[in-house]
Amino acid sequence: MKEVYLDNSATTRAYGCVGELVKKVMCEDYGNPSSMHRKGVEAEKYIKEAKETLARLWKVKEKEIFFTSGGTESDNLALIGAARANNRSGKHLITSAIEHPAIINTMRYLEEEGYRVTFLPVDRYGRIRLEALKEALCEDTILVSVMYVNNEVGSVQPIQEAAGIVKAYNKNILFHVDAVQGFGKYRIYPKKLKVDMCSISGHKIHGPKGIGALYIDERVKIKPIVFGGEQQKNIRSGTENVAGIAGLSLAARTIYENLDEKVEKMRGLKQHFIEGVTKIKNTTVHGLYDETSAPHIISVGFAGIRSEVLLHALEEKGIYVSSGSACSSNHPQVSGVLRGIGAGQEFLDATLRFSMSEFTTLEEIDYTLDTLYNIVPMLRKYTRR
């Protein structure tokens, strides 16, 4: 049976070269980077090279790069660590209403710790309302966090404009970006964007799972949330995941090779898919789908069919998609993102996310469209009304 993987926003297939390198580090260059002997020095070199890679891609300093277990930990460290370190200046935090659970749930936790959080509304395309951001800022505000690309509908946030508004109000307010879905699709330069902290994850860019990175501007005051042997300047203790770090570094270098061509290819496939899927009656594409949206994410509502039913019907045909954020897929619920953009009631539990990578082909897109043309009318026919 043909296999079509269109769930790349959940995770990506690792590059072959990344898999080989990870195995080599785990089985040959397996020393602890804190050890003083040769095996430790060999391991430490991978960390140094990874910092050089990310510093070059971000145009930041190597000492501003910290490795974590993934995007979720990077987000937690940025929000909790910065909030606790700066709470004498205020206890007001701002984010958007359609952030990833790694941000939303962390903000909810900080509310329990006594912080006040403002969740900014978004327009029907999933972009934050800049006027609402201006109105939310106050003397007590210490941190703003806005994602680069929304993981469900692919909206791209006006990060530079938002950060400019924040810094114009008070240059000491920290600005964090969850760039997990944007890194590897866009060239992101935190200092140019006036971003103080930026989170990424390895498994979204054809790297290993369980590894992420956080850029922290050297001027940012932050407290650790993990305590141990004081690795990484005591910002993130614990023996470094050297194999993961090496894999993340190689994946980052590889994904940015010929990036423009890769993005152009995905945009072409995205447009082709949208033109085809909207031929099906009672469907809608959520958010924008021109060049101002992410090149790899398509959110489609199929009125009259529960998303879980359609997802498994596609799975039986070898097509793998998602019904929303994979991080909350074990606990089915109506998407806060769809509610946030004002999606119609008929689409709240009837939406699938199709997400591509550089490996996706036109043949796979056409096979998916043909399958949808056949099964959507059939499923609607048997849906109870």
Cα-trace Rg, the chain:
21
Alpha carbon distance 79, 144 (integer Å)? 9
CA-based nearest residue to 67, from 242, 225, 207: 242
> Do 95 and 146 form a contact (C-beta atoms < 8 A)?
yes
Alpha carbon distance 106, 95 (integer Å)? 11
> Do 50 and 245 form a contact (C-beta atoms < 8 A)?
yes
Which amino acid would we find at residue 169? Y
Q: How wide is the angle at C-alpha 9 spanned by C-alphas 263 and 267, nearest 5°?
A: 25
Q: Running DSSP on this structure, what letter comes out for residue 257?
A: T
Pairing type for strands 212-216 and 197-201 reads antiparallel
Alpha carbon distance 114, 136 (integer Å)? 18
Per the listing, tokens 């060999």 go with 42
Q: How many residues does the chain have?
A: 385
Q: How wide is the angle at C-alpha 129 spanned by C-alphas 102 and 176, nearest 5°?
A: 35
- 27 as an active site residue: the answer is no
| Helix (H) or strand (E) segment spanning residue 351 | strand 351-355
List the catalytic residue out of 27, 138, 198, 327: 327
Alpha carbon distance 369, 351 (integer Å)? 15
CB atoms within 10 A of CB 385: 4
Q: Catalytic residues, which ones?
A: 327
